[in-house]
Amino acid sequence: MTILTLDALRAAYSLPQEGGKALGDAAIAEQLSVLPAWSYTDGAIRREYKFNDYYETIAFVNAIAWIIHREDHHPDLTVSYNRVGVAFNTHSVNGISINDFIAAAKLDMVFDR
């Protein structure tokens, strides 16, 4: 697998993965080097975003909902007063696919703004 840059991930779109193969641990680790705030644990890539208050937290959730819907790639979210936990994996490959990294890069772009 070719490692995609951050710009390439942000420009890409999730594609159907049915019949595809999950990425191996080495490929996951290499691609995570582009997204250093994310980690790979328990079969998903994960990140926790922190905010000043509940309003900022919910504003972020609302903003990423649009992106997640457009990408048709839906993470598990854990929402609390000032934190949002995100966990991506690709059910159709029973593991991690490039779609997980594409979506993660786009969520980071929202957070960084």
Which token pair is 3? 């490692």
Short-list 100, 110, 113, CA closest to 34: 100
What is the average pLDDT across 54-79? 95
For residue 2, is pLDDT > 90? Answer: no
For residue 80, is pLDDT > 90? Answer: yes
Establish how many alpha carbons lie within 13 A of residue 3's alpha carbon, considering only the half-sphere containing its beta carbon.
12
pLDDT, one tens digit per residue, over 14-65 is: 888 888 899 999 999 999 999 999 999 999 999 999 999 999 999 999 999 9
CATH number (3.40.50.261, 3.40.50.1820, 1.20.58.110, 3.30.1360.20) of 6-112 reads 3.30.1360.20
The full set of domain ranges for the chain reads 6-112
- pTM beyond 0.85: yes
3-state secondary structure of 76: strand
Per the prediction, the chain carries an average pLDDT of: 95
For residue 83, is pLDDT > 90? Answer: yes
